[in-house]
Structure 1
Amino acid sequence: MEDGAGSRRKALTAASWVVRFRCKRLHRRDSVRYLCGLLLAGAGLLACHPAAAPRRSLTFWAMGVEGEEVRTLVPEFEQRYPGTRVIVQSIPWSAAHEKLLTAFAGGALPDVAQLGNTWLPEFQAIGALLPLDQLIASSGTIRADTYFPGIWETNRMGDRIYGIPWYVDTRVLFYRIDLFRQAGISHPPSTWEEWLETCERVRQARPGTYPVFFPLIYTEWQVPLLFVLQNNGILLADGNARGALDDPRTVEALRHYLRFFERGHAPTRMTEFANLLQAFASANIAMMITGPWNVGELRRRYPALESQWTTTPLPGHKNRLSVAGGSSLVIFSTCSNHELAWKWIEFLSEPASQFRFFQLTGDLPPRKDSWQLGIREDPKMTAFYEQLSAVASMPKIAEWEQVAVKIQEHLEAVVLGRRTLEEAIPLLNRDLDAILEKRRWLLTKGLLAE
């Protein structure tokens, strides 16, 4: 067993790798500030929380609209626990990641924060997160069996839980009922083969309509990876430290994904439509894969179309998996009042709080019992409830977002005819190996767990 100093050295080494990588995008002077802050943290600031805050105050960082709307819930919590003050700081998503890393380096992290679930592995690797298993074991509010299993597992690193799901999203198929009816289609596709057949029939009935839309922009990487998930393919190997897109199941899945473009079912130029929802509402697109936020957007922008579209779980192959997305609540290891921080997380995790948060933001609750308060009865939301029972997380590594963008970059080149899939895969594996070089080094030094 390691002593505390050994654990801190490992965290500091991993942290310095993350910070050095992130600093490549910053000015040299900013990089020096990062590293200086990290050295100070290694000297002892990691072990203590800033002492200025009163004992019964709690700092909470949240991102985007969630950071604004969660303030509505604060008065009820403060009334329940007199003498408590929750200080909420709302941070734009575009600045959140760097701000959190800077706060870690400077020993200025909040007590509790919202983290996108693809960020958890990175902050766990640098020792920033408090394991929550003991708190969960003694909780009367939070139990694993009340959550969608795939969503709960996104918070597990090794044999420990480091976050509690706050809200979830996943991708399902949106489709135009009226366009299906015109093509003589009575039900949505449930398999890959039915999906291609549906596309053919829509094109025959409406030559000017694209049957489906798959995004190619780099930040929208989910669609091709859904095909990989549904064919039991793999993306990475050797402890998630090397590219593995030459796996036969992965190659088969990507070939099927590319057929939609090759047969003209999906547009290859992302500039063809200025606005995806407008294209869907104008019948230029019959199907699209997207998330729950667009249910509210479609209803708000195009209320007259309410009866002409709906949602369904994704068509599948060997399974019908979708990607597990959303955000979790974490306690940072520098928090000085674990009890109060946990009470705040428990409060936000109560079904009534989750339902209220859904009403404020449209974010889907991660707890199944919260859906029984009125969400599941919405016919447009039923598909999300069903799909959330069949979701999987992407590889839990700090470099995941870089890996995902690189995959999308190479697949776009194939879609546009710049190279074949057979040419792209070895190039892609090579690029992923380069991205994951530091991870391999950390694994060999025993500084990361596989």
Structure 2
Amino acid sequence: MHRNARTASAALALAMAAGITACGSSGGAGVAADKKQTLTVWAMGAEGEKLAEVAKVYEDANPHITVKVTPIGWDVAHQKLVSAAAAGTLPDVTQMGSSYMGEFVELGVLEPVDTKTFKKDSFFPAAWEQGVADGEVYGVPWYVETRVLYYRTDLAKKAGITKPPTTWPELQQAATAFQDKAGTQWGIYFQPSGLDTVQSWYPFLYSAGGSIVSDDGKAAMNSPETVKALKEYGTYFEKGLSKKSFQPGYEVLTDFNSGDVPMFYSGPWTMAGINDNYPDLKGKWAIAKVPADQGSVSMAGGSSLVVSKDSDHKEAAKEFLSYLTGTEGQKDWFKRSGDLPANTSAWDSGELANDANFKIFRDQMETAKSGPVLPQWTEISSKADEAISQVTQGKASAEDAAQKAQSDIEGLVE
């Protein structure tokens, strides 16, 4: 999941100034799927580069279709999408990060998904929910990610830890044992402050049964469950188990390799990062599901694929999306990109079915939770970032920080 600091309200103001209203326009009947035509596609980051390879394969099998893929950097993606929406020039198909979805639904520029073609039961529940707003589906899940616990098995042995922690008390006991018995500088790494601190905190929030905004759209930062998650997170900094200072661009794998940090939460890409950059760690690390409170519930991220409401190529776009999000297309995408499939059937054979680490990620994804699809979500989650920072830096109690965030978020969701 990628986020941009620009707020939804600013994007909406720009779009509205350019004449976009929530009603949108349909783009007419459009071109039939079997006619010669060009599909325009925007995809972000490394996915944009890899998708161009897939597009060539698709074109070979469908010679009447030309797929023009434009890679967009995540650092400029939000700005380019808002500008294109305002100008009515969105591409036929766009990769849409989960934190953007609510904003562009609000702008009325996305075509609802044909749920007879794309079925909810084919995808992880949290992946599907990332494309749903006000009961309507706007995004087809493309790939997913979630966070699990990475830990040093060799240092665990020194610390007398014989199995990965499975509960909150066991996690804190393990962090303490790493420091006291294995001599690590820290017991674990959690982001203490800064943009997207909330992503490090989500496993605590969701495992406690809390939320930032409830399912019925009300601010929930001061709920007992959310306050409990804030308090638990804060104890790691209060006890010196995780460092309070935060440097933008910090790379936890450097300290994981040195042994200064023996545990941290991260996503599937980190496995490749360890294997490629720290070969000496082979056989010295493992992963496990996030330790549980009410349950073991991590965050769900990833991206969906959306179709522009103004596209004249909706039928061809639907067929292209069917290819990308079907079982075989998802398996191929995993081989090319390493991104975890959103379609659960792609996990039923091959490496995803047989590798023990991928099995852990699948188990975690089954219970993972995504944030609500709201146009103000970037601004809302930044209020949670601020609350977490107040707690980790010892500037406010969990109760007081949560209440301040509650008041701020109420003003955004009313």
TM-score (normalizing by structure 2) = 0.90
Equivalent residue number for residue 151 of structure 2: 175
2:3 corresponding residue in structure 1: none
Cα distance in 2 for residues equivalent to 1:356 and 1:119: 26
Matches within 5 A, 1:308-347: 308-347=284-323
Change (3 A) 1:69 1:281: same
Quick one: structure 1 residues 292 and 300, their matched pair in 2 at CA, closer, same or farther if it must change by over 3 Å?
same
Distance in 1 between residues matched to 2:306 and 2:248, nearest whole Å? 41
Quick one: distance in 2 between partners of 1:346 and 1:208?
49
Among candidates 391, 396, 411, match of residue 373 of structure 2 = 396
Match in the other structure for 2:332: 356
Q: Which residue of 1 aligns with 2:95?
A: 114
8 Å CA contact 1:175–1:287 kept in 2: the answer is yes
Instruction: Give a deviation string over 1:224-256, Cα, whole Å, max 9, x none.
Output: 232121111232359425x33221221122111
Contact 1:211 1:285 in 2 (8 A): yes
Query: Do residues 301 (structure 1) and 280 (structure 2) align?
Result: no
Q: Which consecutive unaligned segments of at least 5 residues does structure 1 have?
A: 1-17, 25-30, 441-450
Aligned ranges 1:71-82 → 2 under 5 Å = 71-82=52-63
Which among 215, 219, 223 is matched to residue 191 of structure 2?
A: 215
Letter in 2 for 1:220: T
C-alpha distance in 2 between matches for 1:179 and 1:342: 50
RMSD: 2.5
Deviations 1:369-415 (A, max 9, x none): 21223223233322211101111111221111222122112221221
1:444 corresponding residue in structure 2: none
Instruction: Check the 8 A contact 1:167/1:365 in 2, yes or no.
Output: yes
- Identify the residue that residue 408 of structure 2 maps to in structure 1: 431
Q: Structure 1: how far apart are the matches of 2:130 and 2:23?
A: 31
> Which residues in structure 2 correspond to 1:91-240 (within 5 Å)?
91-132=72-113, 135-137=114-116, 139=117, 142-216=118-192, 217-236=194-213, 239-240=216-217
- Bigger radius of gyration, 1 or 2? 1
Residue type of the partner of 2:281?
A: L
CA positional deviation for 1:310: 1.3
- Contact 1:45 1:107 (8 Å CA) reproduced: no
Assess if the C-alpha contact under 8 Å between 2:8 and 2:376 holds in 1: no
Letter in 2 for 1:104: A
Asked if structure 2 preserves the Cα contact closer than 8 Å seen for 1:191 and 1:315, the reply is: yes
Q: Does structure 1 retain, via aligned residues, the 8 Å contact 2:146–2:299?
A: yes
Q: Percent identity?
A: 30
3-state SS, counterpart of residue 286 of structure 2: strand
Task: Tell me how far apart the structure 1 counterparts of residues 221 and 383 of structure 2 sit (CA, whole Å).
Answer: 12
Higher RCO (CA < 8 A, seq sep 6+): 2
**Where does residue 405 of structure 1 map in the other structure?**
382
1:259 counterpart residue number = 235
Distance 1:302 1:72 in 2: 29
Alpha-carbon shift at residue 46 of structure 1 (Å): 4.1
**Deviation for aligned residue 1:160:** 2.4
By how many angstroms is 1:97 displaced?
A: 1.1
Which of 14, 21, 25 is residue 10 of structure 2 equivalent to? 21
Tell whether the 8 Å contact from 2:144 to 2:301 is kept in structure 1 after alignment.
yes
Partner of 2:43: 62
State the alpha-carbon separation in 2 of the partners of residues 338 and 346 from structure 1: 12
Q: Which whole-Å deviations, capped at 9, do the CAs of 1:294-334 have from their partners, x for residues lacking one?
A: 11111110112121111111111111111111000111111
Equivalent AA in structure 2 for residue 401 of structure 1? T
Q: Compare 313-322 and 356-365 and name the one that shifted more.
A: 356-365
Alignment partner, residue 446 of structure 1:
none
After TM superposition, the structure 1 stretch with the greater mean CA deviation from structure 2, 398-407 or 216-225, is 216-225
Structure 2: gaps spanning 5 or more residues? 1-6
SS in 2 for 1:101: helix
Give 1:88 deviation, angstroms.
Answer: 0.6
Q: Offset of 1:119 from its aligned partner? A: 1.5
Contact preservation (8 Å) 1:321, 1:390 = yes
Separation (CA, whole Å) in 2 of partners of 1:301 and 1:245:
39
Match of 2:65 in 1: 84
Paired letter, 1:332: S
- Native 8 Å contact 1:64 1:91 kept in 2: yes
Contact 1:376 1:385 in 2 (8 A): no
Q: Name the SS for the 1:380 alignment partner.
A: helix
Q: Which moved more, 1:319-328 or 1:192-201?
A: 192-201
Offset at 1:366?
A: 0.9
Could you tell me how far 1:42 is from its partner in structure 2? Answer: 5.5
Stretches of 4+ moved more than 3 A in 1? 41-49, 271-274
TM-score (norm 1): 0.83
Larger CA deviation: 203-212 vs 334-343: 203-212
Query: Is residue 362 of structure 2 the alignment partner of residue 385 of structure 1?
Result: yes
Which amino acid in structure 1 is aligned with residue 11 of structure 2? Answer: R
Contact 2:21–2:108 (8 Å) recurs in 1:
no
CA distance in 2, matches of 1:213, 1:43: 43
Q: Secondary structure at the match of 2:312?
A: coil
Partner SS state of residue 188, structure 2: strand
When structure 1 is superposed on structure 2, of 62-71 and 330-339 the one drifting more is 330-339
Please report how far the alpha carbon of residue 276 of structure 1 lies from its aligned counterpart in structure 2 after TM superposition: 1.0
Residues in 2 aligned to 1:312 and 1:392: alpha-carbon distance in whole angstroms: 17
